Amino acid sequence: MSRLALHVTRAFSAQPTLGAQLGPDTGVIELPLPEALATESEPDLVWASNAAPSTVAALRARFPAAGLLVTVPSSAGAQQIVELIGQGADLVLRDEGVLLVAAALTSLNRRASAPRRTA
């Protein structure tokens, strides 16, 4: 396993669908917020569903190097999305299911693995 993804759970488990979509090189752990903030694991990717801005800030502080994906209800407005990005989310998507989340995490993973370009 070369990458670790953390799903901050609220009401449902995304496994085994998420793990199958991310592939064998990415391990997936699922923890509720209090356990996620206390874990000794250092995930490369973090997904928080329907997270409040304060939750995003806490996750960013705890996992500063991780790609942080936040999904919001389809009714979320632009201001809410902007606020989540301001608190440290790398990507905010309207929640359309685990397959879209897996694609977004794969994209964040690719971006994190790519060599950085300098101007």
pLDDT at residue 31, rounded to an integer: 92
Q: Domains of the chain: which residue ranges? A: 3-113
pLDDT per residue over 43-55, tens digit each?
998 999 889 999 9
pLDDT per residue over 93-106, tens digit each?
887 667 677 777 77
Q: What would the CATH number be for the domain defined by 3-113?
A: 3.40.50.2300
Give the whole-angstrom CA distance, residue 95 versus residue 100: 8
pTM score, whole prediction: 0.80
Mean pLDDT value across the chain: 83
